[in-house]
């Protein structure tokens, strides 16, 4: 959805409907108040660009959801759980479910990339990574460093796939892409944010055996046309995500994600050779098999088949 409103009550109603129940107090010039929001719901994840044209204070409790706010300019001050943290470009604020929070910002208007993640989904993602149940929900630290390393990579991932949210036909809204995207966002957050399980995530884990890897390969072959994540594959063969990744690396010298890409490239190659170039484009075939970025897709295709995808399309027998 895409909304712009100069009415604080309407802005509160829209923000409550898309994110959380909250209260907006205008601290700056009320005559210049306006809220802009471009957002999309992708299963357990809501991602949107939120901005105000004057300084505001927002009070909310994030019922049943984690909330991550990534300022793109200026700064946002958050108070939650007895802590106060200031975040600007290169940092984010992470709010845990069902805890009151107050954040103040937009003295210098600029967009905030706002993510809402269902608690059940993030908890399940961590359980798959740990291959065991959690005793309680994840206590993520309020401050998230995005200035370098994993934090910068995670921020770039989210921003690169949240550029066309106002477009109802954006590729990120397609199920083949939305599922893996939400998985990557949640896994990346768990590997980046500070929490009690992060050291365990970095510890060695036993690799899945060759028979499990074979079952996983069969599952990928049978479901290559479905929205498929590493978590989906691990659940299908009854192992943890990290064990499956280790097993693929040991048995095949590759990752489950790369193997899925190889299988889908094979399907693209087959479809391009069979397609009529007057009726079908390379982009349509690539999107059908979950490749949103044409440049990267073309590079992978050329590396695999020695030609650009357009050459395969024109080579129709």
Domains present along the chain, CATH in parentheses: 2-173 (2.60.120.10), 259-314 (1.10.10)
Report how many helices (DSSP H) and strands (DSSP E) the chain contains, helices first: 12, 12
Mean pLDDT of 225-240: 91
- Round to whole Å and give the CA distance between 303 and 280: 23
Indicate if the pLDDT at residue 317 is higher than 60: no
Does pLDDT of 316 surpass 60?
no
Give the helix ranges, DSSP H, for 131-240: 149-160, 175-192, 198-201, 210-223, 230-237
- pLDDT, position 295: 85
Coil, strand or helix: which one is 72? coil
CB atoms near residue 136 (< 10 Å): 7
Which pLDDT score is estimated for 77? 95
pTM of the model: 0.82
Distance (Å, whole) CA 191 – CA 150: 8
* DSSP symbol at 147: S
pLDDT of residue 202: 84
Q: What is the DSSP letter of 310?
A: H
Average pLDDT (200-210) is 89
| Structure confidence by residue, pLDDT tens digits, 3-56 | 999 999 999 999 999 999 999 999 999 999 999 998 988 889 999 999 999 999
Q: For 162-171, 229-238, 264-273, 297-306, which range has the lowest pLDDT when averaged over its residues? A: 162-171
Q: Do the strands 65-71 and 76-80 form a parallel or antiparallel pair, or are they unpaired?
A: unpaired
- For 43-102, the pLDDT digits (tens) are 899 999 999 999 999 999 889 999 999 999 889 999 998 999 999 999 999 999 999 999
Q: Of 114, 235, 259, 249, which Cα lies nearest the Cα of 183?
A: 235
- In a 13 Å sphere around the CA of 9, the CA atoms on its Cβ side amount to 0
Q: What's the rounded mean pLDDT across residues 278-290?
A: 91
- Higher pLDDT: 256 or 172? It is 256
Q: What does the mean pLDDT of the chain come to? A: 91
Task: Give the pLDDT confidence of 152-188 residue by residue, as tens digits.
Answer: 999 998 987 787 776 777 767 777 778 888 889 999 9
């Amino acid at each position: 959805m895409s909304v712009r409103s100069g009415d604080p009550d309407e802005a509160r109603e829209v923000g409550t409907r898309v994110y959380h129940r909250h209260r907006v107090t205008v601290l700056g010039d009320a005559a210049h108040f306006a809220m802009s929001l471009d957002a999309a719901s992708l299963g357990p994840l809501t991602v949107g660009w939120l901005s105000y044209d004057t300084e505001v204070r927002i009070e909310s409790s994030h019922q049943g959801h984690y909330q991550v706010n990534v300022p793109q300019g200026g700064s946002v001050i958050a108070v939650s759980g007895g802590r106060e943290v200031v975040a600007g470009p290169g940092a984010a604020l992470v709010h845990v479910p069902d805890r009151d929070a107050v954040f103040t910002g937009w003295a210098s208007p600029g967009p905030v990339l706002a993510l809402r993640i269902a608690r059940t989904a993030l908890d399940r993602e961590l359980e798959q990574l740990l291959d065991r149940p959690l005793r309680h929900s994840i206590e993520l630290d309020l401050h998230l460093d995005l200035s370098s390393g994993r934090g910068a990579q995670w921020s770039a991932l989210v921003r690169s796939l949240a550029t066309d949210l106002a477009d109802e036909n954006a590729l990120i809204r397609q199920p083949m892409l939305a599922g893996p995207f939400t998985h990557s966002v949640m896994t990346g957050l768990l590997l980046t944010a500070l929490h009690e399980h992060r050291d365990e995530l970095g510890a060695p884990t036993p690799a899945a055996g060759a028979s499990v890897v074979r079952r996983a390969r069969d599952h990928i072959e049978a479901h290559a046309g479905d929205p498929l994540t590493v978590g989906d594959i691990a659940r299908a063969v009854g192992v943890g995500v990290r064990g499956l990744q280790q097993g693929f690396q040991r048995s095949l010298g590759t990752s489950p994600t790369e193997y899925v890409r190889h299988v889908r490239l094979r399907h693209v190659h087959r479809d391009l050779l069979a397609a009529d170039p007057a009726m079908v484009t390379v982009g349509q075939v690539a999107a059908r098999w979950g490749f949103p970025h044409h440049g990267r897709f073309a590079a992978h295709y050329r590396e695999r088949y020695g030609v650009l995808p357009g050459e395969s399309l024109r080579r129709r027998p």
